[in-house]
């Protein structure tokens, strides 16, 4: 799913060149918007790092101690911070890193490696069958809004989309998802509040098959009485979906709130162990200095980040580009 239009490197006409220039301006505009929205995270990491190395002539143990504090308090996570510090210390010991001015570039390179997590192999629906995506996450992270924005992206690709209200424990969630379905022009399946979520999913997949729907996005509950109750319910939804449509759900997206920092990693571990997450969606990056948590998630869990949310607008759910994110934070 691409946000940017591909550009012809050798335009054959003035019109082609004009379109190419317009595309370049659009790309620059999107990057500028991303950089603005990540200003708090950039200040938390790059700003403090610049002040740390300003005027320094060598990389001392004291400088490394201060670097460790910057990385840790920027919410990269304990494990990721330690890995970065170990890498820097090793380079300093081997004398391949001496100049503090090169410290920033070294960190950028390693963080980019962390963000380029290996892609999880996704199941592919049989010909003529819908792609079924189960969206999970705790309440308040922006699941329903993310589903609506993702539906808009699929619609722009020309795909037919169905939204399924399987969070039957909250009437407000059903109503919100229905509003999104109307807004983006997607089909919508619901039952009464308190209905069995698995029954809603079964009916939805039956309808999706008969309507030849391309993509089914399933909204799910984020809180029951205990963590075990929640995971049992979500696992039941998975089983019922798989019985109705072998292989479903083909993808499981976990929505995380960037403002929760380290707690996001704990949530990711919990959901991944129970459900086998295929993709991470990180929301609310625009309102936090804790955006570096995306680095810790990629490094520790080896899960790909599919989208990032940088605002309230429908176009503010963006396909994740590791290089673009690193540039926006460090440059």
Q: What is the pLDDT of residue 28?
A: 54
Q: What is the pLDDT of residues 191-243, one digit of tens each?
A: 998 999 999 999 999 999 999 999 999 999 998 667 889 999 999 999 999 99
Q: What is the pLDDT of residues 149-200, one digit of tens each?
A: 999 999 999 999 999 999 999 899 999 999 999 999 999 999 998 999 999 9
| C-alpha span between 272 and 265 (Å, rounded) | 10
Q: What is the pLDDT of residue 14?
A: 44
- 8 Å CB contact between 191 and 177: no
- Greater confidence, 253 or 296? 253
Q: What is the pLDDT of residue 146?
A: 97
Window from 11-25, 67-81, 247-261, 276-290 with minimum mean pLDDT: 11-25
**Confidence band, pLDDT 50/70/90 cuts, at residue 17:** very low
Window from 20-24, 230-234, 322-326 with minimum mean pLDDT: 20-24
Residues 6+ apart with CB under 8 A from 193: 168, 169, 170, 171, 174
**Confidence band, pLDDT 50/70/90 cuts, at residue 18:** very low
> Given a cut of 90, is residue 7 above it in pLDDT?
no
Sign for the CA dihedral angle at 124, 176, 182, 307 comes to negative
DSSP 121-189: PPP-PPTTS-EEEEEE--TTS-HHHHHHHHHHHHHHTT--EEEEE--TT-HHHHHHHHHHHHHHT-EEE
Q: What is the pLDDT of residue 15?
A: 42
Residues 6+ apart with CB under 8 A from 249: 132, 133, 134, 218, 238, 241, 242
When pLDDT is averaged across residues 235-262 and rounded to a whole number, the result is: 95
- What is the average pLDDT score of the chain? 87
Sign for the CA dihedral angle at 113, 1, 265, 293 comes to positive
**Confidence band, pLDDT 50/70/90 cuts, at residue 142:** very high
Read off the DSSP letter of residue 89. H
pTM: 0.86
Sign for the CA dihedral angle at 146, 148, 153, 158 comes to positive
When pLDDT is averaged across residues 239-253 and rounded to a whole number, the result is: 97
| C-alpha span between 41 and 69 (Å, rounded) | 15
> Given a cut of 60, is residue 24 above it in pLDDT?
no
Q: What is the pLDDT of residue 167?
A: 95
């Amino acid at each position: 799913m691409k946000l940017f239009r591909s550009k012809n490197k050798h335009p054959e006409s003035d019109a082609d060149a004009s379109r190419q220039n317009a595309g370049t301006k659009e790309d620059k505009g999107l990057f500028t918007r991303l950089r603005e929205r990540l200003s708090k995270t950039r200040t938390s990491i790059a700003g403090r790092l610049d002040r740390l190395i300003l005027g320094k002539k060598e990389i001392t143990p004291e400088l490394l101690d201060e670097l460790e504090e910057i990385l840790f308090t920027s919410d990269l996570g304990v494990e990721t911070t330690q890995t970065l510090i170990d890498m820097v210390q090793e380079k300093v010991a081997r004398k391949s890193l001496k100049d503090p001015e090169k410290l920033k570039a070294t960190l950028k390179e390693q963080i980019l490696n962390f963000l380029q997590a290996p892609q999880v192999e996704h199941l592919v629906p049989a010909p003529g069958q819908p792609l079924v995506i189960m969206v999970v996450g705790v309440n308040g992270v922006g699941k329903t809004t993310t589903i609506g924005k993702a539906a808009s992206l699929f619609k722009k690709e020309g795909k037919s989309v169905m939204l399924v209200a399987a969070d039957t424990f909250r009437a407000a969630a059903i109503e919100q998802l229905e509003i999104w379905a109307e807004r983006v022009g997607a089909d919508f399946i619901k039952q009464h509040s308190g209905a069995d979520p698995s029954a809603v999913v079964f009916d939805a997949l039956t309808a999706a098959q008969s309507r030849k729907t391309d993509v089914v996005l399933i909204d799910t509950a984020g809180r029951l009485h205990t963590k075990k109750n929640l995971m049992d319910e979500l696992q039941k939804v998975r089983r019922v979906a798989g019985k109705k449509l072998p292989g479903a759900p083909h993808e499981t997206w976990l929505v995380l709130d960037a403002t929760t920092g380290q707690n996001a990693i704990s949530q990711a571990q919990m959901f991944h162990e129970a459900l086998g997450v295929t993709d991470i969606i990180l929301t609310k990056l625009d309102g936090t200095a804790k955006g570096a948590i995306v680095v810790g998630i990629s490094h520790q869990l080896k899960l790909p980040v599919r989208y990032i949310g940088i605002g309230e607008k429908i176009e503010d759910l963006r396909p994740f580009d590791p290089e673009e994110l690193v540039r926006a934070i460090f440059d």
